[in-house]
Amino acid sequence: MKSGSDLKDALVAQALSEGFVSAKICRPWDVPQVPARLQGYVEAGYHGQMGWMEERMHWRGNPAALWPEARSVIMLAESYSPDEDPMAVLGMADRGAVSVYARNKDYHDLVKKRLKRLARWLIAEAGDATRVKVFVDTAPVPEKALGQAAGLGWQGKHSNLVSRDWGNWAFLGSVFTTLELPADDPEPDRCGSCRSCLDSCPTDAFPAPYQVDARRCISYLTIEHKGPVAEELRAKLGNHIYGCDDCLAACPWNKFAVAASDMRYAARAELNAPKLADLVHLDDAEFRTMFSGSPIKRIGRDRFVRNVLYAIGNSGDAALHPHAQTLVADPDPAVADAAVWASARLG
């Protein structure tokens, strides 16, 4: 059996061979600042309708409580760096902007499969007594804080993890294990005086550096927020119809971005810059078919079409007015409301 350092070296090599761009290690208890930060975030109401953040705050704020037997956390980053300018679509009034990560297969499935293969490898190397648990985004794990503690990168002023080696286009995953593995040094903050991400936000969703008010964040508004979006924010959504990459794309550290190793992250042609007129009339069955295997499917037809109607209203394109008009009596109140608003904007 390999020693701790030899096993760690072999583990990192195996992780890279699986397609991860980086693998680092910390302890579950290496993020003492998280509980207070999370408490302040929820008390300020920045979580909006995401009630699960408050309900599961005990586990999200204390990774050691999530699985007390764990002694090491292997933090991993997987690149999904786009091969084109993600901001180009924002200048196309009749097209919709879909967040880079959602233009093809659901990353949860792809990353989790890689994590499970790595976990099985670790058990085979370290012995059957080794216990592991894998997580990618859906469990109450503070991935970004653990990523910084492990040295993957640091939480930038936009709150996402940034690395000198791969920028900020990366998914995070973790393997909790009962093994005692040598920990890496945490990564210091290297944002300096840069404000590129903060200044790029169309809705001013950053009350201060390192703080995000989800209630104003386009990603939250187009994905998590149920019902109509506040009228004061609709015009600022532009043509974003699912998520937003503005703050990520603005980060200067992306000059070190690493190409995605999995072609399933490459944008599907129909989602690179989709025509709003082709999306606004989707019924539920058509929506489910079009977005099968995509993270977009999770928000459902109604919320998606609501977003498309906001983009139509912001387009300034009179040719799209009839498309909005056809939905003013849609059975879903938020869709009907968005259609009325878009029609008024274009009429």
Please give the residue that has the higher pLDDT: either 317 or 58.
Answer: 317
| 314 phi/psi in degrees, rounded to 5 | -90, -5
The residue length of the chain stands at 347
Mean pLDDT along residues 122-127: 96
Percent of the chain with pLDDT over 70: 97
Distance CA 100, CA 153 (A): 21
The confidence score (pLDDT) of residue 168 equals 96
> CA-to-CA distance for 313 and 317, rounded, in angstroms?
8
Per-residue pLDDT band at 138 (split at 50, 70, 90): confident
Strands (E), the chain: 22-26, 72-79, 97-98, 132-135, 154-155, 161-162, 170-177, 240-242
pLDDT at 56: 74
Asked if 95 and 89 count as a contact pair (C-beta separation under 8 A), the reply is yes
The more confident residue out of 263 and 268 is 268
Over 70: is that where the pLDDT of 49 sits? yes
Return the percentage of the chain with pLDDT > 90, whole number.
78
For residue 179, name the pLDDT band (cuts at 50, 70, 90). Answer: very high
Are the C-beta atoms of residues 272 and 234 closer than 8 Å to each other? no
6 is annotated as an active-site residue: no
CB atoms under 10 Å from CB of 319, counted, come to 10
Q: Residue 319, by phi and psi: left (phi above 0), alpha (psi -120 to 50) or beta? A: alpha
pTM: 0.93
Q: Residue 204: left if φ>0, alpha if ψ -120 to 50, beta else—which one?
A: left
pLDDT (average), residues 258-275 = 77
Please state which of the ranges 94-108, 229-243, 252-266 shows the lowest mean pLDDT: 252-266
Residue 193 and residue 63: Cα distance in Å, rounded?
31
Check pLDDT > 60 for residue 19: yes
Question: Looking at the predicted structure, is the pLDDT value of residue 330 above 80?
Answer: yes
* Residues 32, 63 contacting (CB under 8 angstroms): no
What mean pLDDT do residues 239-265 have?
89
Q: Please name every residue paired with 79 in a beta bridge, in sequence order, or none if there are none.
A: 170
At 266, the pLDDT band (50, 70, 90 cuts) reads: low
1 pLDDT more than 70: no
Q: So what's the pLDDT on residue 3? A: 63
Return the pLDDT at 59. 66
Residue 58 or residue 283, greater confidence: 283
How does the average pLDDT of the chain come out, rounded? 93
Question: Order of strands, edge to edge, in the sheet holding 132-135?
Answer: 22-26, 72-79, 170-177, 132-135
Contact 178, 69 (CB under 8 A): yes
Q: Is the dihedral of CA 182, 162, 225, 288 positive or negative?
A: negative
Calpha distance 38→35 (Å, rounded): 5
For residue 123, give the amino acid letter: I
Catalytic-labelled residue, pool 6, 109, 137, 332: 137
Q: How confident is the model at residue 62 (pLDDT cuts 50, 70, 90)?
A: confident
- Does residue 131 have a pLDDT over 70? yes
* Residue 122 neighbours by CB under 8 Å, 6+ apart: 11, 130, 132, 175, 177, 179
pLDDT class for 263, splitting at 50, 70, 90? low
